Amino acid sequence: MHMFKDQLGVTFNKILIDTRIREAKNLLKSGQYRVKEVAYMVGFNDEKYFTTKFKKQTGLTPSEYIKKP
């Protein structure tokens, strides 16, 4: 894991969360899934934790993101 950060300058977990949130944004914008479903689809087992990470990354909750024009 340290080698990953040494080579790329960021941790594996940061890249993993970024990737999950990016995919979650696509799924949420599609309008086909509820927030809870999206959380599970991108690898979060806890909807509250997903919401916390999503808001930290985007500045919006998943529900606010869906409503954003």
**What are the DSSP E strand ranges found in the chain?**
none
Tally Cβ neighbours within 10 Å of residue 50.
22
The torsion angle over the Cα atoms of residues 15, 16, 22 and 24, rounded to 10 degrees, is -160
pTM to 2 decimals? 0.88
- Check pLDDT > 80 for residue 32: yes
pLDDT at residue 68, as a whole number: 84
Tell me the mean pLDDT in the region 41-63.
97
pLDDT at residue 1, as a whole number: 62
pLDDT in tens, 14-24: 999 999 999 99
Instruction: Show me where the domains of the chain are located.
Output: 2-67
Q: Tell me the average pLDDT of the chain.
A: 93
User: Which one of 1.10.8.50, 1.10.10.60, 3.40.50.1700, 3.40.920.10 gives the CATH number of domain 2-67?
Assistant: 1.10.10.60
